[in-house]
Each structure stands twice: as structure tokens, then as C-alpha cells.
A and B are shown apart, each in its own frame.
Chain A
């Protein structure tokens, strides 16, 4: 008996599609992060960081 258990083609294709989706989504997230980084001024660079950015510890990081 062969030791190579081969998953059905449809299952393998589905797993490949999920892996491709993973790569695409990581790329989308990283691309969005870069885009946003360059699109808006950082909250901590403002004279008065918005209250919702308080957990960034702006004062201590500068």
C-alpha cells in the first residue's frame, strides 16, 4: 500500500484558494497600513492628540 494519501482534487483546490486568499488579504492589510501611514498626519504629531488616541502614549513616545 502506498504511503501517499492524496486528498481529492476539489479539496486540494479549495485549500489552495484559501491559501491564496490569505496572501491577498495580508497584502491588502499591509497595503492599507502603508497608504494610511502616508495619507494622514500621525496623531502624536499633533499639538493636541485626539482623546481617542490616548492609549498611544504620545507624550512618552516623543
Chain B
């Protein structure tokens, strides 16, 4: 959807090519770097306990010790959450941003478990500790602990149920960052006021240094990274209305040289966090899939459906407006897999990464067979249909629209994408095909079932879930 590329010579008819971004993208397996990062993570999580052994305070029995250990480890994990959320290319490269973000979300469960177990063990061991729950009469060390736990629970609940609670993404981002800072500061103050294991000067210095690392991460994420993005500013070239209540933002780098000799590189299927506005320092970046060819980074597209306040306001965006981009990110790309053929299944605006995949493979002259099953409500919901029809003109590309509520004039597929449809359309020798699925949650669940039902091995089924929280 960037510009017509018909007539461009194919680069390598039989062999799929990988561009500069994907050439350095390994076929991902557990490797030394990933194991090293996991070991560092574990060491940092347990570091407070190891360091406290240097100068132990008087003993308080097994249960109090266990409670304290859980509290210290939870605090270390909380600090590490900042590092995981910082989206550093170096730390995310061995595992992938999707794994890092999922890990970030699921580790919150461990933190909540440990933080709740920390006082509960004390309450069971000696019920008199329950008096500390009364924040009107309890000392500050207990007040701060209660505030920290409550803030953690609010953070977890608003992250899990953000959509159900109808909290907009920008509000959630700001709330999430504010609560995270409150949790860590109040928990650190709670530790210092109690004084066990943080009484010696070197112990205080250690905790200050530990906290300073988190402050540095915040400084790097909020100041240094935006400054880098300022040099790599993009500008809006065009905003196009699309079918399906979508808009396509066409962007180009203001200074292409700022992206290095290879320009802005990404792999088809990847996404980026983007920010529209004058300043790259705003907190609210929104994640969207690239919707254009990775072989033409001089002009990139994002196709966005109007859901919330930000996406619904895109029609007001004017050419020339600045855009800041954090990315590319993501593991949802055929460039990471040795597939003999590709089966793409999209629902609604989940078509965007598939567009990028189809355009990129077209531009590379990739001869592998590929099918796109595009599920939508009706003819008016088929975003980028004209572009898809153009891509489908190639001999090895088959595009199948599947409409749940088509008009009477519709002669194509009706209903939903299921295993019967896949078995009817796909060739019998599809053992080495890979399946890529993107769309709304129910559609993705059904499409995964369909692929597995059609005989696809689980490791060949890849999906991209939209929601970050």
C-alpha cells in the first residue's frame, strides 16, 4: 500500500531473501545469550538475600525469615520489572519482545503472590501483627507497606481487566507507570524503616545503588531513548480512509540518513510503538503492525482501526505532522521460519501484518505458495481489499475472503474460517507450511483450532495477539 510496485524486477525468484533487519534475525532457539540473561535475572532477584548473609541481624525464627525473604525477593522482582518494560533492543534480542512482555505480565503474578504471602505468614505466625493493618494507628513502616500492597493490587487488576474496566490505553499507561513508582518507593521506605538487614551503612548504600539503577532505567527510557527518536523523526505523508472504519498513515523518514546506511529496517509482520505529536517525550506510544513492504522502508504504512480516543482521532492527522517510532519489535514474522508455504489467517484489522508479509514477499519475488484467509463481517469491512486483490493476481498467491454477514450478492465464502475450509482449499502436501494468525481474540482462538484441526503441527502455528494489557 505504499506505492505501486508492479513491474519491478523480482530479486531472486526461487530463494526468499531477507533484508538487513532480518538478516541479523536468528532462527530463534534457546541460546547462550538467552540463558545468560536468565541467569543474570535470577541472580538479581535473589541478590538481596545473598547480600544480607554478609552481616546477619539477630534471628527471628523460620517463619519470620521466610516472610522477610519473600518480601525482599518481591521487591527485587519489582525493580526488575522496570528493566523488562524498558524495551532495550540488546536485552530483548535473544528472546523476543513478545516473550519479554509476556514474562513481564506473568511475573507480576509471582510478585503479587510473594507480597501477599509476606504479611499473611506473619499474621498466621502471630495474629497480633494484624493490628498493623489499621493504618490509622499503625506505625509508618506498616502504613507504607499497606499502601504498597494496595497499589500493587490496583496495578494488577487494572492491567488484567483494562478492557473490561474501559480504561483507555493512554490512561492505563500513565496509571501503570505512576503505580509502579509508588509501589517501589513505598516498599523501599517500608524496608528502611523496619531496619532489618539495612541498618549498616554499606547496606543502606547498596539499596540506594540498587534503587539508582531503576532510576537510571527510567531516565534512559524517558529521556535518552526519546532523544534518539527525535533524530529519527518521521512525518505524515498521507492519511487514507480505508474500508472497515480504518485509516492508513503513510509515513516517511525526515532524515533517512539518521537510520543508518540501510535505512529504517523491519521484518514483515513486526510492529512498532508510534507517537504522533511535536515531542517524543510523551508517554503514550501506541503499538501497531507495519502494513507495508519491508523492502520499501523509505515509505512505511500503519493501518489503524478506530477503537479508542487515539485511533478515532486519526482522521484529523494532517500531512507533515511529526511521528516518533519505537521499533521494530516482534517475533510474528515468516522470516524466522523455514516454511515451505504460508497460510495467513486474519480477522478485521488483523490484516495489517499480513499485508506487510504479502507485499514484502511479492517485492522479494518469493515463489513459495501462500494463502490468505481474511475473515470479516461484510464487504464493507474488508480493509485494503483493492491492494489484496492486486497481490492475489500473482500465480502463487490465493486470497479467500470469508464473510460472516455478507450481502445477498456475495458469491464468496460465508461463515467463519474452520478446518473444513482449510482442508478444502489447501493442498494435501502441506506438512511444511507455517500458519500465521492475527485478529480479534475469539477469531484467533477459532483460527488456531482450525489450523490444528486441519493437521498443522502446533509449532507451525503462530499468532499475534493485539492486547498489551
Contacts and interface: CB of A to CB of B under 8 A. Distances in A.
A4 B446 CA distance: 10
Contact of B42 (A15, A18, A24, A39): A24
A62 interface: no
Contacts of B448: 5-6, 8
Interface string B431-469: 000000000000001101110110000110111000000
B124 interface: no
B228 interface: no
Interface in A17-34: 17-18, 21-22, 24-25, 28-30, 32-34
B419 A1 contact: yes
B320 interface: no
> Is the contact region of chain B dominated by helix, strand, or loop, or is it mixed?
helix
B452 A33 contact: no
B383 to A, nearest CB: 24
Interface string B97-121: 0110011001101100110000000
Interface residues of B, number: 55
A61 B62 CA distance: 15
Contacts of B196: 52
A21 B42 contact: yes
B63 to A, nearest CB: 8
B102 A37 contact: no
Contacts of B459: 9
A62 B291 CA distance: 71
B331 to A, nearest CB: 7
Given A21-B42, A33-B65, A2 B60 contact: no
B66 interface: yes
B58 A8 contact: no
